[in-house]
Structure 1
């Protein structure tokens, strides 16, 4: 999928030889969460978690390659926050030497994302409505996880709050690469200012547990403003 995406990106850049280009900048908020799936029974694999949204941000740029009056190809580069938060319970299930943690887990990652979107434009009022979508490939460049809750060790209980950096790799905490689909919509005024919203639907799992029946995929809702010139 990575090779297909890169090939698509270079094909879109090739349109530069005959297209009228517009450069855009954008920034806004993201509300990332994660889709967790597991068919594993107890003790056989990772549990299925119910992730809720974090709040993060994004900032980036785009190039619009004009194919026709109402259609453009729009590759870009975005620094974007992803992750999620969920309730967790971990235990060794040994009554005589119990070790258990119950509380919240929060994952925050920062990613460089390369989208290539097909965008349709419709004249409307004093500007234009735009709708589009396409593939993206993202690479995690940093991340941290936070845990807050109650730790039980034997008969002793204490409040635990911890934070650590996330390691990326196939044999680490999470995979570094993330492939998926983008969907976007917005309205642009004639002066180039626009408001927009988007949704990133992760297709590849960033889970590294190695179980075929489990997955962890990014989901990112975003809203922001931009300017094209």
Structure 2
């Protein structure tokens, strides 16, 4: 796990170093309001989706020219995500389960930005990688875990194996995530950015239990409206 985090860090560092050397690279800062959720299914392929939860993203990115109107745009960001289960689901959550999660993410979009009016259209698509750093859970009433009654809130953690942890800790998902990222936006006067972004996880984040796979599937999904400023 630590090795993967180190690799991701140095990948970011390499991208930004290349950007600095290129000389024509433009940096941007951005913030977003997001609506995130998870998509779950059980071994019988019954699809379920909890209610979305509002969060936010903040990030620092670069626009690295390739040729013509094409460029590559990596953005390192911190994202607050989550979901709400308002009823009992077959995958195991009880009623009124509210999750708030935190991720470090790196979407890398290949962007086409033709001139349009007083600025440029932004059409981008590419992969992303993310790492879950933790979170909190809450319910309306105290929760019974095995034969022990605990409080109505606790810590969310990201682990590959859900068979160990502290009392009141809920192992939500595996920490490493990846998938597809896309955006449509506009850059006004070469400075001001507004973008509609979508992120769809492809990795099954459902953790194992002492090596046993229960067959459930869990994947992240989110929409975001971001604004930014190009330095």
The answer to whether TM tops 0.5 is: yes
Alpha-carbon shift at residue 39 of structure 1 (Å): 2.3
TM-score if structure 2 supplies the norm length? 0.78
Equivalent residue for 1:38, pick from 32, 36, 42: 42
SS in 1 for 2:53: coil
Q: Which deviates further from its counterpart, 192-201 or 139-148? A: 139-148
Q: How many residues align structurally?
A: 206
Larger strand proportion of the pair: 1
Whole-Å separation in 2 of the counterparts to 1:189 and 1:69? 18
Whole-Å separation in 2 of the counterparts to 1:16 and 1:131? 24
Runs of 4+ in 1 over 6 A off after TM superposition: none
Alignment of 1:79-228 (within 5 A): 79-89=78-88, 103-148=95-140, 162-172=152-162, 173=171, 174-209=173-208, 210-211=212-213, 213-228=215-230
Alignment of 1:38-77 (within 5 A): 38-40=42-44, 49-77=48-76
Question: What's the Cα RMSD here?
Answer: 3.1
> In 2 relative to 1, CA 8–29 (structure 1 residues): closer, same or farther, beyond 3 Å?
same
Contact 1:12–1:73 under 8 Å retained in 2: no
Which protein is bigger by CA-based radius of gyration? 1
TM-score if structure 1 supplies the norm length? 0.78
5+ residue gaps, structure 1, are 42-46, 92-100, 153-159
> In 2 relative to 1, CA 164–211 (structure 1 residues): closer, same or farther, beyond 3 Å?
same
